[in-house]
């Protein structure tokens, strides 16, 4: 396993900037997920590490070796693509062994590596089958096995689960997490699915607009988003954003909502307005009485263990609140809303989190 360092790397396609002056350190053995919307540069960044795209400016270090000018084969990385790219006329064992034969490894070593990879992926019984005889999840495991037998310095995954159905995605995601625990290898994983990122990553790198918005553990980026973009991108359902006016300073600092509700803040925020207050639906709860404000329920979404209530406040602001799974609320009801003032997020006019 190897550490990977990106030092002020940039990439353009013609006049279109894709990655801008990006710095990132990935520790040996770490599972890092590149997360972001389509067009954010996450796949391009992965391909730059793999050597499939050139780096216009900056440096790439793999296991302490300057690597941005090395060919993909010289970097000793293994990439698993969204498309399995298996040879249909070959068996599973032959597909896994193909790359090793190409570099001239002895037959005994190839056999040992293929057998060990098949054991780790629990597919020893599949070795004699051809891709047409496999399910989508099994084909993806073969693609992963083909990467494992190379014994690379790091694994690169480019949205490997996107072709699988929902149930199979969950099972394969768990298999990937267990595989990382067994191998202890450096893994970089690209996805636009926040659930995959939150469940797999040691750290998440959130990309937007050619650059990194935030790097942190899953709960860091969830609980302490550095920007409005991160706050809105992480979490389902999405965070509520309410325009507010700030009043007072120090211990008397408060946020004034459009309907007149006053929410206390801890200290005077830094930055300049216009200000927005963020609060997640689980921190905006429906109560029988004693709420800080009222709203009118418009849509009720019953999820079993909880109920999401979409409501309109008196100033017209739409919010998503949470109630118990046995909620009796119906559309049109007036509801009391309680804000968890310990879970408020404030964003300034630039969209950055305001330090309190």
User: Residues 99-127: what's their mean pLDDT?
Assistant: 89
How many C-beta atoms lie closer than 10 Å to residue 267's C-beta? 11
The phi, psi pair for 209, rounded to 5°, reads 55, 50
Asked whether the beta carbons of 259 and 315 are under 8 A apart, the reply is yes
Q: What is the spatial distance between Cα 290 and Cα 308, in angstroms, rounded to a whole number?
A: 20
pLDDT at 1: 67
CB neighbour list of residue 114: distance below 8 Å, 6 or more residues apart: 93, 96, 97, 100, 127, 145, 149
Q: What is the spatial distance between Cα 330 and Cα 95, in angstroms, rounded to a whole number?
A: 57
> 0.75 exceeded by the pTM?
yes
pLDDT in tens, 73-94: 899 999 988 887 889 999 999 9
Asked whether the beta carbons of 197 and 191 are under 8 A apart, the reply is yes
pLDDT in tens, 226-276: 999 999 999 989 999 999 999 988 878 899 999 999 999 887 787 787 999
pLDDT at 138: 87
User: Residues 308-322: what's their mean pLDDT?
Assistant: 95
> Of 263-272, 279-288, 345-354, which range is least confident?
263-272
pLDDT at 355: 61
pLDDT in tens, 157-189: 998 888 777 787 888 888 888 888 888 899 999
User: Residues 267-286: what's their mean pLDDT?
Assistant: 89
CA distances to 33, 63, 64, 67, 110 from 76, rounded to whole Å, are 20, 10, 13, 11, 17
- Nearest CA among 45, 47, 50 for reference residue 10: 45
CB neighbour list of residue 39: distance below 8 Å, 6 or more residues apart: none
pLDDT in tens, 6-52: 999 999 999 999 999 999 999 999 999 999 998 899 999 999 999 99
- Domains with residue ranges and CATH for the chain: 4-230 (3.40.50.300), 237-347 (2.40.50.140)
pLDDT at 356: 47
User: Residues 219-229: what's their mean pLDDT?
Assistant: 95
Model confidence at 96, pLDDT cuts 50, 70, 90, reads very high
Q: What is the spatial distance between Cα 79 and Cα 186, in angstroms, rounded to a whole number?
A: 12
- Nearest CA among 346, 321, 338, 173 for reference residue 266: 346
CA distances to 28, 33, 97, 180, 353 from 49, rounded to whole Å, are 15, 14, 24, 19, 30
Which segments of the chain does DSSP mark as H helices, in order?
42-50, 72-75, 92-102, 107-120, 136-148, 166-183, 194-200, 218-223, 228-233
Give, to the nearest 10 degrees, the angle between helix 166-183 and helix 107-120: 120
**What percent of the chain is modeled with pLDDT above 90?**
71
């Amino acid at each position: 396993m190897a550490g990977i360092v990106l030092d002020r790397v940039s990439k353009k396609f013609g006049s279109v900037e894709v990655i801008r002056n990006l710095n990132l350190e990935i520790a040996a053995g770490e599972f890092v997920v590149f997360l972001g919307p389509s067009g954010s540069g996450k796949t391009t960044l992965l391909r730059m590490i793999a050597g499939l795209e050139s780096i216009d400016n900056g440096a790439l270090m793999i296991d302490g070796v300057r690597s941005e000018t090395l060919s993909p084969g010289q970097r000793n990385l293994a990439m698993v693509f969204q498309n399995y790219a298996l040879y249909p006329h070959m068996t599973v064992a032959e597909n896994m062994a193909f790359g090793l034969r190409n570099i001239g490894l002895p037959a005994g070593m190839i056999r040992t590596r293929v057998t060990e990879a098949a054991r780790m992926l629990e597919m020893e019984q599949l070795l004699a089958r051809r891709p047409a005889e496999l399910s989508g999840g099994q084909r993806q495991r073969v693609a992963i096995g083909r990467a494992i037998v190379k014994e690379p310095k790091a694994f690169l995954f480019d949205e490997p689960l996107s072709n699988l159905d929902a149930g199979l995605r969950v099972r394969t995601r768990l298999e990937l997490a267990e595989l990382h625990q067994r191998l202890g290898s450096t893994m970089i994983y690209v996805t636009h699915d926040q659930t995959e990122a939150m469940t797999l990553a040691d750290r998440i790198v959130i990309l937007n607009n050619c650059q990194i918005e935030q790097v942190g553990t899953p709960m860091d980026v969830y609980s302490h988003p550095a920007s409005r973009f991160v706050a809105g991108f992480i979490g389902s359902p999405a965070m509520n954003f309410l325009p507010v006016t700030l009043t007072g300073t120090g211990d008397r600092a408060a946020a004034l909502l459009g309907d007149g509700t006053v929410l206390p803040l801890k200290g005077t925020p830094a930055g300049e307005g216009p200000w927005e207050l963020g609060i997640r639906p689980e921190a905006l709860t429906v109560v029988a009485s004693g709420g800080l404000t009222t709203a009118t329920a418009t849509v009720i979404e019953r999820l079993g263990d909880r109920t999401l209530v979409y409501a309109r406040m008196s100033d017209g602001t739409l919010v998503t609140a949470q109630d118990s799974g046995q909620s009796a609320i119906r559309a049109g009801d007036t509801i009391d809303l309680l804000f968890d003032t310990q879970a408020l997020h404030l964003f300034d006019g630039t969209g950055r989190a305001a330090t309190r």
